[in-house]
A and B are shown apart, each in its own frame.
Chain A
């Protein structure tokens, strides 16, 4: 029981991170219909930027500034790199652009913040909350870190919910994900909304990166390396266009991973297999995921 609970708490902790990155993927998919393979590396770059600001400012200020800068950065990426390719009607081209970004952003981080520097001065993200230690539940240890992480994620979800469901901007964004052509006809500025969608995704990713980085004593450019696979699994499982689905599925993936590595011998030592198999089965059996909209194509 103790082992089970401990693993459950671990799963919830990682699940919160997967959920946050999956949320970013979903925000991009809803607006542009793209899988952004560079989402993880964009979040990683944001994390380094946040770290740099945190050297001179309180961590909360740094996180908010990092999110704001990421919003601008994400919007710029959409405007300068993604949209021109979309307008050429070249889907292969856009996938390759996001892969090129993936490689280039990772390398850019290593150029600006060389890994060799970490030996003398490790990249260590301060925690945005003071509480340390654990709560004991039935002999198992629940970290305060986990509690805070989940609380912040839920807060973020609430904010996004209000934004999407209760504001005019949110209405436009939802209209866009439903039908771009019709949105344009009713006077929605589609271009701006696409940039807002990418910006929001980048900001959400930035927060996820900062929280993930503060989880351990130091972080490096491999911060998001495998997280992306888990986040894609969560996004696919929840339905690529459902933010709620992404969050729920994020926790499911986190808990499934923690349980599988503990109780299934076949995946011992290779946890990465869990999300990948999940992706395969979801896409094969139910491509629209748990909460996704089934796409009906008119020919």
Chain B
């Protein structure tokens, strides 16, 4: 019996196995390098500040979404409050610049370290509550952080921190301010991309995925579930903190005046992850840039009609979850896989005789 199951009953059957869904790693890597190079060259050939600013904000949204993706996509923990970490990162950077005269770059490691620690702290409740209850806790976080910043961190009741322009200006003579504010987030994005890529392909990354897929089985197989969850919270918080820090550079301010905008940003991160493709490395970048673009352009397209832009956003969110469960990147991969499938397999045309030419090349 076992012989028969190993040997395919008909030799042609072996050929109908579909090609690997993923494209070849070298091809993907070459494509990624090409895109990165193009992005790095862009500000020197197309030096339009408003375009660069929009792209730059897109990169920042992408970094935040990649952070949430580590937690939600890979470890399977839902958060609708990651703007809290973004807000903390922004607050730290703005205040260090204003009060300690630090440069933006110097504040980044501090913001990252503090938000990572804070993320680990928030990860502790996640050990007890899961699923929708965790979403609820994180939602509370997104409202708490700006509220507390407003009451305890602000001066004279205004939760807006604006470093002076010269502190945010380009320190490199050959770069304009616009180019500088574009290149710093871009380089950060590339670094984060490479780090995430190596994380998910490592042993640690596989244990995160194991926790997502089967917590008990993962624990049985020797994965430290507690450690994996806390680490994943810390990493995702650090990414969002970095995004918040960088936002001070581009937007010129840290703003904690509205709890609702924090809620909205948290939802944007989630939308970016889901639309781009959860549990893919590049998907959230794609999703983040798209969300930022839509957020910027939708009011204009809808003729500034109140309510139209968020309505489209909500509807797109629901539609994507139904139609493209793998997100844009997942859909793209399916398409590539379909195009690459050997012609013998799916072709149902009536005059297609058993493909002898393909059996014997």
A-side interface residues, number (CB < 8 Å): 45
A131 an interface residue at 8 Å Cβ cutoff? no
Minimum Cβ distance to chain B for residue A229 (Å) = 7
A3 an interface residue at 8 Å Cβ cutoff? no
Bound: A232/B139 CA distance, A: 11
B-side interface residues, number (CB < 8 Å): 43
Bound: A92/B274 CA distance, A: 9
Q: Which residue of B lies closest to A35 (CB)?
A: B132
B140 an interface residue at 8 Å Cβ cutoff? yes
Query: Could you say which of A65-73, A109-117, A211-219, A253-261 contacts chain B?
Result: A109-117
Q: Cβ of A96 and Cβ of B147 under 8 Å apart?
A: no
* Chain A residues within an 8 Å CB radius of B132: 34-35, 91, 95
B136 an interface residue at 8 Å Cβ cutoff? yes
Q: Cβ of A100 and Cβ of B143 under 8 Å apart?
A: no
Q: Cβ of A92 and Cβ of B140 under 8 Å apart?
A: no
Q: B311's contact among A35, A104, A276, by CB below 8 Å, is which?
A: A104
* Chain A residues within an 8 Å CB radius of B147: 270, 272-273
The number of A-B residue pairs with CB atoms under 8 Å apart is 126
Q: Which residue of B lies closest to A105 (CB)?
A: B314
* Chain A residues within an 8 Å CB radius of B314: 100-105, 107
Q: Cβ of A92 and Cβ of B72 under 8 Å apart?
A: yes
Q: Cβ of A283 and Cβ of B128 under 8 Å apart?
A: yes
Known: A99-B267, A276-B144, A279-B140. A84 touches B322 (CB 8 A): yes
Minimum Cβ distance to chain A for residue B150 (Å) = 7
Q: Cβ of B317 and Cβ of A100 under 8 Å apart?
A: yes
Interface residues of A in 21-74 (CB under 8 A from B): 34-35, 37
Known: A95-B78, A283-B128. A100 touches B140 (CB 8 A): no
Interface residues of B in 149-206 (CB under 8 A from A): 150-151
B352 an interface residue at 8 Å Cβ cutoff? no
* Chain A residues within an 8 Å CB radius of B309: 107
B19 an interface residue at 8 Å Cβ cutoff? no
Report the 7 A-B pairs with minimum CB-CB distance, sorted nearest first: A104-B314, A110-B307, A103-B314, A107-B311, A100-B317, A35-B132, A276-B140
Please list 8 pairs of residues, one from A and one from B, whose beta carbons are closer than 8 Å in the complex, sorted by A's number: A91-B132, A92-B76, A97-B321, A104-B311, A108-B307, A276-B140, A276-B143, A284-B125
